[in-house]
Amino acid sequence: MEKQHGKLFIVSGPSGVGKTTVVTQFLDQHRHLFDIDRVVTFTTKQPRSTEVHGVDYHFVAQHDFDAKAQEGFFLEKSGEYGASYGTPIHIMYELPRGSSKILVIDRVGAAQIMQKHPDVVLVWIEVSSLSVLADRLSKRSTESVEQVKHRLQLAEKEIQAEKNAPMYHHYIENDKLDNAITKLFDIVASYCDNKTTLNM
């Protein structure tokens, strides 16, 4: 069976919703079934103690980020939470070879990519209430009370923006992690070839 064109899955959601956890665990459990990898984006933010350069993000200085932006290195870029974030454009060159990508970015970045590449698959992850988000953010212990408050305000704006002008193709509620991973699996499986089927 001939390999199909790869897909770009964009996963977004408000801060604290657990989107990175859902994507990471989905890949840990199911990567062997699909030709799919997570896109490592670039950022100028300070890494958390648990974050690894080249795995969670490519951490760069602001002047390096700006230079890359001038060179047309980024597919999309945005500024959130006092830092710059960008997605490398080269990921689009791997899709025709059959490799799919999964990208965790905010709604603004997703809209930028959607305008240029309307065939991307947009997945929005949410929780049942803002109080759940507040609880998760406060348990991170990596940010001040003011930072948590700021993230919650931004989260509320993102949630409202998506309600007012729905942009995403698929919605996942992440109140139970296992259920969210299963739903993401079902979404990816509906677009991507299963390696076990290809090898039959």
Q: Please state, in angstroms and rounded to a whole number, the distance separating the CA atoms of residues 15 and 36.
A: 24
Read off the DSSP letter of residue 31: G
Give the tokens for residue 36: 């799919």
pLDDT tens, residue by residue, 105-127: 999 999 999 999 999 999 999 98
Whether the per-residue pLDDT at 2 is higher than 70: the answer is: no
Whether the per-residue pLDDT at 161 is higher than 60: the answer is: yes
| CATH number assigned to the domain with residue range 8-38+99-198, chosen from the 4 options 3.40.225.10, 3.40.50.620, 3.40.50.300, 1.10.600.10 | 3.40.50.300
Task: Give the list of residues 6+ apart from residue 8 with CB closer than 8 angstroms, or none.
Answer: 91, 92, 95, 100, 101, 102, 103, 113, 117, 120, 121
- Contact at 8 Å (CB) between 166 and 159? no
Q: Percent of the chain at pLDDT above 70?
A: 94
Phi-psi region of 72 (alpha: psi -120 to 50; beta: other; left: phi over 0): left
Predicted model pTM: 0.90
Higher pLDDT, 7 or 146: 7
The domain spans of the chain are: 8-38+99-198
Higher pLDDT, 145 or 46: 46
Residue from 115, 117, 111 nearest 168 by CA: 111
Residue 193: predicted pLDDT: 82
